[in-house]
């Protein structure tokens, strides 16, 4: 399956002229540093990861400081530490707030992670 950033190559000249100064969101897979560099160079903008799934979209977004922030307008993200030994991956439990047709409530999406405390410099924009 082609990676999304590779599909951007044919648009290089057209997009480079129209996109300077804005950011691009990379969705679906975490962008590797060489992919970020290529996209940033071609489009003249920042590149930001977005985490989500088909079932629950827009779970978290990367801020300019490289930290992922939970999109609390779209989801409630919890971790389930039941039976988890320290150091093991912690499963996510996700509740989508926008899909009223097929709601996912406290859904185990099989992803793991950790929720961190603390305040980012951009806390006014991201939570
Ligand atoms: Zn941040």
- Per residue in 20-77, pLDDT (tens digit) is 445 666 666 778 899 889 988 998 888 888 899 889 988 998 888 888 889 999 999 9
- Confidence label for 122 from pLDDT (cuts 50, 70 and 90): low
| 2 plus 33 within the same structural domain | yes
Cα–Cα distance measured from residue 42 to residue 31, given in angstroms and rounded to the nearest whole number: 15
pTM: 0.71
Residue 122: inside a domain, yes or no? no
Average pLDDT score over residue span 119-124:
69
Structural domain boundaries, residue 22: 1-51
Model confidence pLDDT, tens digit, residues 78-99? 999 999 998 899 999 999 999 9
| Amino acid 58: pLDDT | 87
Statement to judge: residues 16 and 64 lie in one domain: no
The CA 120 to ligand 1 mean position distance, Å, reads 5
CA of 122 to the centre of ligand 1 (A): 5
Distance (angstroms) between ligand 1 centre and the Cα of 4 equals 25
> What are the C-alpha distances in Å from 62 to residues 14, 30, 70?
26, 10, 9
Residues 64 and 107 in one domain: yes
Cα(114) to ligand 1 centroid in Å equals 15
2 and 37 belong to one structural domain? yes
**Domain count across the chain:** 2
């Amino acid at each position: 399956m082609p990676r999304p950033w590779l599909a951007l190559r044919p648009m290089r000249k057209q997009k480079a002229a129209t996109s300077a100064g804005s950011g691009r969101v990379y969705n679906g897979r975490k962008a590797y540093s060489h992919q970020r560099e290529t996209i940033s160079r071609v489009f003249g903008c920042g590149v930001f990861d977005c985490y989500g799934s088909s079932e629950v979209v827009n779970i978290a977004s990367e801020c300019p400081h490289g930290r992922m922030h939970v999109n609390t307008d779209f989801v409630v993200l919890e971790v389930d530490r039941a039976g988890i030994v320290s150091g093991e991956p912690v499963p996510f439990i996700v509740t989508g707030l926008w899909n009223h047709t097929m709601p996912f409530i406290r859904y185990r999406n099989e992803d793991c992670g950790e929720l961190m405390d603390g305040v980012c410099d951009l806390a006014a924009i991201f939570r």
